[in-house]
Amino acid sequence: MKRVKFKLLWVLAAFLLPGIQPIMAQEFMKINLSNGSVMEIPIADIQKLTFDLSTGIQPNSQVLTQLLKFKAYPNPAKDYLNLDYTLVNEGEVLLEILNIGGERVFSKTLGQQQPGDYQHRWQTQNVPSGTYICRIQQNKEIVSEKIIIKK
């Protein structure tokens, strides 16, 4: 009798399992903002982010929009690194590259910039291979991304 029940279970599983929809991974995170609007953020973008916890970024801060548009490529880099960023406010912009020990490897004031899209190219020929943190600061708000230099 046990053998018949076991075979019956296998037969049912063989017919029922193909009809079950596979469980799909969540592709977007939805955030309900205090003004009633909803912001959708791709999970893939969230997984790429590195937060600098010492900045005290508020969850509803405008820098979140800037942060999601900050991109460093190619990553890993060899001879140069393109840094694309979008500013939502006017202000003084500072670019810093830190090594994994927190020491400043590169620092440049990019000056007063208006809201919009910008690109900066960092030449890495004389930079040793390793992991670095790229930070852009504007009006006391800091966004960062982990980068790898590979020779």
For residue range 5-25, what is the model confidence (pLDDT) as tens digits? Answer: 556 555 555 555 555 555 555
Residue 28 covered by a domain? no
| pLDDT tops 60 at residue 45 | yes
Residue 64 covered by a domain? yes
Average pLDDT of the chain to the nearest whole number: 76
CA 149 to chain centre: 18
Residue 10 covered by a domain? no
The residue segments making up the domain with residue 105 are 55-149
In CATH, what number is assigned to the domain containing residue 122?
A: 2.60.40.1930
AA identity, residue 101: G
Cβ contact 105:98 at 8 Å: yes
Residue 123 covered by a domain? yes
Residue 72 covered by a domain? yes
How many structural domains is the chain composed of?
A: 1
Q: What is the pLDDT, as a whole number, of residue 52?
A: 45
| pLDDT tops 60 at residue 62 | no
Per-residue confidence at 30, pLDDT binned at 50, 70, 90?
confident
Rounded distance between C-alpha atoms, residue 15 and residue 137, angstroms: 58
| pLDDT tops 70 at residue 74 | yes
Q: Cβ of 99: how many Cβ atoms within 10 Å? A: 16
Residue, of 96 and 28, whose pLDDT is higher:
96
Taking residues 46-64, what's their average pLDDT? 49
Residue, of 25 and 73, whose pLDDT is higher:
73
Taking residues 14-40, what's their average pLDDT? 65
Residue 40 covered by a domain? no
Query: What is the percent of the chain with per-residue pLDDT over 90, rounded to a whole number?
Result: 34
Rounded distance between C-alpha atoms, residue 137 and residue 57, angstroms: 12
